[in-house]
Structure 1
Amino acid sequence: MAKIHLSLAIGAYDHVRDLLDGTVQVAGVELTALRLPVEEMFYRFLMHGEFDVSEVSLAKIVALAAQDDGRFVPLPVFPSRVFRHSSIYIRSKGGITRPEDLAGKRVGVPEWAQTAAIYTRGLLAHDYGVDLASIQWHQAGVNEPGRIEKVKLSLPSGVRLTVVADRSLSEMLLAGDLDAVLSARPPAPILAGDPRVRRLFADPRAVELAYARKTGLFPIMHVVAMRREVYERNRWLAMNLFKAFDEAKARSLERVADMAVSFFPLPWAPDELRLARELFGDDPWAYGIEPNRSTLETFLRYAFEQGVCCRPLSLETLFPPEVQATFRI
């Protein structure tokens, strides 16, 4: 039987490396892999469906699913996971010292429906008691003007969101026209070491570790999704892709754990893996629904509360049946 050819767009992660270089094969599939910046990848996949399979924003996928836009079929494969206490940026002399101080302030987001922003707003509302409707929200590109929302929004009553087309969030933060920015990608002044801006949390790792220990949650940013017509033509692709991604990730974790040599240009990488396993179990980057149910259901709740999803969603309706459970021998 001839193999099916699929195009795959994804970031250059070590945990997909063996899939991209052919060490791990997707059974029945010949892959053409494209490694692209996430913003470009998401835009081209969501707007034009240029790839058969792509990494994509979890927020965009759930927003479209809630709107009954069935163009994409997500798999419970999560290339990117990041704690987001570290993604709150403020003016150094703006008088903000704790999350509660953001109530009533002017806060910028790259997109209301950015996954990182949804998690961060959820933290502010649920963990720190901030009324999101009290904030004056502004949407613009982080470092370039002109960024747009990719999905329709159903903003909650009382929430004010102003679209700023001709300025960037970085520019507005430096000018004092914003008090804070919530963003996955750091504002340029942060990367440049500009003393006028800083992270809200001086030691975000300590805060994120405490959050992980308290909640058991490990925020998911991105999923892998197929175009609907690709899935419908060959539904066996869902599990075959899942298994290949899972094998590639397992091989990556083996490299991290290897103490004989350094596969990553980082000191103490095996120690970091041991810490992650203490927090999240033997596979700290688990794929699949059940190992991630609490994290995923928390995100779905935040997305609905914040008007990214126009109706509640369940995981059983979000993911296809072929990957909702795995077989056992």
Structure 2
Amino acid sequence: MTSQKTNLFTLLGDYPVTRALKSGELRSDLVGFTYADIKVANTGFKPLVREQKFDLSELAIVTYLQAKTYNKPYVLMPAVVVARGQHHTIAYNPERGPLTASDLAGKRVGVRAYTVTTGVWVRGILKEQYGVDLGKVKWVTFEDPHLAEYTDPAFVERAPAGKNIAQMLLDGELDAAIVGDKLPDPRLKHLIPDHEAASKAWADKHGYTINHLMVIRNELSRTRPDLVREVFRLLKESHDAAVRAGDKNAATLQFGLEPNRRSLETIIDLTFDQKLISRRFSVDELFDETTRGLS
């Protein structure tokens, strides 16, 4: 086994859980990192899955499930770097009249892309907790899927070029929209007013709602398990530093397969049920012999 230091071209966002690693506070004699100059990590997901641009990367879990479907050369690591409740991410414009989550049948709902992980979580939540028939909602998108091989279903409509999701909500061209972590305009309101309680109820039943985990090249995992274990150690130590610093979100993020199994089972089910993948993977097959044993 070689002890030569290996440098990995890495896509990793700036979060409390990555700060100790990215700042250089944590170092290794075995592995180094060259970080891609990409400020918002999800803008690097398309070159990851289409061009295999990075050795190591964070990746949205639904994008990974689709990447596995199309045999992209990456394997999942049980290291979560982004997770949050999802109930607060869907908004409406109260100036256009009252609206509840149960009222969405026949409505036009915007989402950045049909395949984004937040969209998959929210659609699953709407179906289970609020009885929404997802097939009766008109989904309006603004971007292509990350995977070039995937085509949006026929019931998904593309917004006209140049349109903005928040402005379409304000103008009444959309009835609701999945807008992300923060409301983009003060005139908008959360569609689910009791979103914190609803999010807790979901997590109690299904596990927490994961967004991004780490992936690494299959070949690296196969030939350099020592390197993969070292990467995992560094990620975990960086996460632990954020927990010690009092970051509440960091404390919810889990490392290792078993603590994440229930959440992964849920997102696999939702992704399959929404026809984004062709078969329902088992949790274990998302990992290989090396990454399955990381804990």
TM-score, with structure 1 as normaliser: 0.80
Q: Distance in 2 between matches of 1:154 and 1:26?
A: 42
Alpha-carbon spacing, 1:321–1:95, altered in 2? closer, same or farther (3 Å): farther
Letter in 1 for 2:193: A
* Alignment correspondent of 1:235: 225
Q: Once the 2 structures are TM-superposed, how far is the Cα of residue 179 of structure 1 from its aligned partner?
A: 0.5
Q: How does 1:124-143 map to 2 (within 5 A)?
A: 124-140=126-142
Q: Once the 2 structures are TM-superposed, how far is the Cα of residue 40 of structure 1 from its aligned partner?
A: 2.2
Alpha-carbon spacing, 1:169–1:191, altered in 2? closer, same or farther (3 Å): closer
Contact 2:61 2:213 in 1 (8 A): yes
Q: Distance in 2 between matches of 1:38 and 1:100?
A: 33
Q: Distance in 2 between matches of 1:191 and 1:169?
A: 9
* More displaced 10-residue stretch of structure 1: 298-307 or 52-61: 52-61
Contact 1:66 1:313 in 2 (8 A): no
Residue ranges of structure 1 left out of the alignment (5+ in a row): 141-146, 257-268, 277-282
Q: Once the 2 structures are TM-superposed, how far is the Cα of residue 47 of structure 1 from its aligned partner?
A: 2.9
Residues 227-257 of structure 1 deviation map (CA, whole Å, 9 limit, x = unaligned): 334334423332221122111111211111x
Identity %: 25
* Alignment correspondent of 1:244: 234
Contact 2:112 2:141 in 1 (8 A): yes
Letter in 1 for 2:292: Q
Give the secondary structure class of the aligned counterpart of 1:246: helix
Residues 269-308 of structure 1 deviation map (CA, whole Å, 9 limit, x = unaligned): 6xx58xx9xxxxxx63211110011111000000000011
Give the secondary structure class of the aligned counterpart of 1:86: helix
- Work out which of the residue numbers 72, 75, 94 in structure 2 matches 1:73: 75
Q: Distance in 1 between matches of 2:98 and 2:282?
A: 37
Q: How does 1:33-112 map to 2 (within 5 A)?
A: 33-34=35-36, 36-67=39-70, 69-112=71-114
Q: Once the 2 structures are TM-superposed, how far is the Cα of residue 30 of structure 1 from its aligned partner?
A: 1.7
Letter in 1 for 2:165: L
Alpha-carbon spacing, 1:26–1:184, altered in 2? closer, same or farther (3 Å): farther
Contact 2:110 2:174 in 1 (8 A): yes
Letter in 1 for 2:272: F
Give the secondary structure class of the aligned counterpart of 2:261: helix
* Alignment correspondent of 1:200: 191
Q: Distance in 2 between matches of 1:10 and 1:318?
A: 20
Letter in 2 for 1:161: V
TM-score, with structure 2 as normaliser: 0.89
Letter in 1 for 2:196: R
Give the secondary structure class of the aligned counterpart of 1:178: coil
Q: Once the 2 structures are TM-superposed, how far is the Cα of residue 154 of structure 1 from its aligned partner?
A: 6.9
Residues 8-63 of structure 1 deviation map (CA, whole Å, 9 limit, x = unaligned): 22111121122223332345112223462123222332233322111111111101
Give the secondary structure class of the aligned counterpart of 1:93: helix
* Alignment correspondent of 1:30: 32
Q: Once the 2 structures are TM-superposed, how far is the Cα of residue 75 of structure 1 from its aligned partner?
A: 0.8
Q: Once the 2 structures are TM-superposed, how far is the Cα of residue 203 of structure 1 from its aligned partner?
A: 4.2
Q: Distance in 1 between matches of 2:230 and 2:245?
A: 23
Residues 107-158 of structure 1 deviation map (CA, whole Å, 9 limit, x = unaligned): 1111111000000000011121111001111111xxxxxx2211244767xx
Contact 2:11 2:44 in 1 (8 A): yes
Q: Once the 2 structures are TM-superposed, how far is the Cα of residue 321 of structure 1 from its aligned partner?
A: 1.8
After superposition, the CA RMSD in angstroms is 2.3
Number of equivalenced pairs: 290
* Alignment correspondent of 2:282: 314
Is residue 191 from structure 1 mapped to residue 180 from structure 2 by the alignment?
no
* Alignment correspondent of 1:219: 209
Contact 2:166 2:185 in 1 (8 A): no
* Alignment correspondent of 1:285: 253
Letter in 2 for 1:75: M
- Work out which of the residue numbers 171, 174, 180 in structure 1 matches 2:176: 180
* More displaced 10-residue stretch of structure 1: 203-212 or 311-320: 203-212
Letter in 2 for 1:223: L
* More displaced 10-residue stretch of structure 1: 234-243 or 116-125: 234-243
* Alignment correspondent of 1:163: 158
